[in-house]
Structure 1
């Protein structure tokens, strides 16, 4: 296995009608499809009263050997997940632009407030791929506590003045 692994992932978004003066719809990721290709983006897949599912994008899921700790933590959860990061979440159609298996990377995108990371259950095919990638590339690094340095050394503190004013 290479130092990184990549697979194409289809992203399915749900548009749901909401009662809000600011937005007509709420969007969320409802599924991912491993190895999906050949679908036209924004193809309607299913619909019901007040909701519609769209095949929104085909994105790469890239696994990196330096992120195996995040993948391990993800796989240790009761329901391992993939994270789909959406841009322009308040627009008429959000833009899926990243799929990751690392919860730390997904969390980094949440900080700015410009993007949102939706969590969806990891399909079994991806679960086995990520598990094999971890076994091949993970190197357990021992925890080392950072040693704090004094802000001011004792030698640099001036002696108390003998004369007071």
Structure 2
């Protein structure tokens, strides 16, 4: 297997949730473990372009993995997994269900090793604008004789 690809087994569980007089079914990840011995097996692929997002996730108090599970309002069918909050946010914008779980320590170590091997992503900094740059300037015009 590639140094940027790992299999993870995902098990979902449905839990009834009472909201006022309605009972809703809320899905959550019951188990997420490295390996391919489970009900749903997904491949976690790391990308060079997402290194800054991986670092951000790893430095958070509780690193997470995000599972795309089909469209909102349908029974979840996990079909993708990521360690990037940016990718997960894109899935949410597309009205996809995104479930999250704590990142197993083995995956944290693997991502750290990936970042050490490929280098940290360069910090994105904004360039300072020169004073008045990008603004239209009023130019004095001579009055036209009427």
Confirm or deny a common fold (TM above 0.5): yes
TM-score with structure 1 length normalisation? 0.71
Partner of 1:17: 16
Which of 107, 113, 129 does residue 126 from structure 1 map onto?
107
Structure 1 residue 139 displacement after superposition: 3.6
Distance of aligned partners of 1:23 and 1:159 in 2 relative to their CA distance in 1, 3 Å threshold: farther
Partner of 1:115: 96
| Structure 2: segments with no counterpart, 5+ residues | none
Structure 1 residue 117 displacement after superposition: 2.1
Write the distance in 2 (CA, Å) between the matches of 1:73 and 1:35: 25
1:70 aligns with 2:53: yes
CA contact (8 A) 1:89 1:95 kept: no
Partner of 1:6: 5
Q: RMSD in angstroms over aligned alpha carbons?
A: 2.8
- CA deviation profile, 1:18-44 (whole Å, cap 9, x unmatched): 34687752212233121123x4xxxxx
Partner of 1:48: none
Matched positions, count: 142
